[in-house]
Amino acid sequence: MRTTAIILGTILVCAIGVGCNSPRAKDTPVAAAGPVTGKFAYVNIDSFEAKYDVLKAKQEEFKKRQAEMDDELQHSYGEMQSDANEVQKKVQAGTLTEAEYNGAQKRLMQMQKTLETRRQSLTDELLKAKDDFNKDLKLRLDAFLDNYNKDKHFDFIFTYSNSGGSPLLYANRSLDITKDVVDGMNDAAKNDKSKAK
Q: Could you tell me if residue 27 is inside a domain? A: no
Rg (C-alpha) for the chain, rounded Å, is: 27
Nearest to 12 by CA among 169, 172, 153, 156: 156
Q: Could you tell me if residue 24 is inside a domain? A: no
Q: How confident is the model at residue 34 (pLDDT cuts 50, 70, 90)?
A: low
Q: Could you tell me if residue 133 is inside a domain? A: yes
**Cα dihedral 45, 49, 55, 61 sign:** positive
Report the pLDDT value the prediction gives residue 103, as an integer from 0 to 100: 95
Q: Could you tell me if residue 102 is inside a domain? A: yes
Which has the higher per-residue pLDDT, 24 or 36? 36
Q: Could you tell me if residue 31 is inside a domain? A: no
Q: Report the percentage of the chain scoring pLDDT > 90.
A: 65
Number of domains in the chain: 1
Q: Could you tell me if residue 127 is inside a domain? A: yes
Report the pLDDT value the prediction gives residue 75, as an integer from 0 to 100: 96
DSSP string computed for 36-101: --S-EEEEEHHHHHHH-HHHHHHHHHHHHHHHHHHHHHHHHHHHHHHHHHHHHHHHHHT---HHHH
d(CA 15, CA 20): 9
Which 3 state secondary structure label does DSSP give 21? coil
d(CA 154, CA 17): 11
d(CA 25, CA 42): 29
Q: Could you tell me if residue 28 is inside a domain? A: no
Which has the higher per-residue pLDDT, 165 or 121? 121
Report the pLDDT value the prediction gives residue 24, as an integer from 0 to 100: 38
d(CA 120, CA 132): 18
Strands 156-160, 40-44: parallel, antiparallel or unpaired by DSSP? parallel
Domain of 177 in residue numbering reads as 2-19+37-196
Report the pLDDT value the prediction gives residue 170, as an integer from 0 to 100: 75
pLDDT (tens digit per residue) in 79-100: 999 999 999 999 999 998 999 9
Q: Could you tell me if residue 185 is inside a domain? A: yes
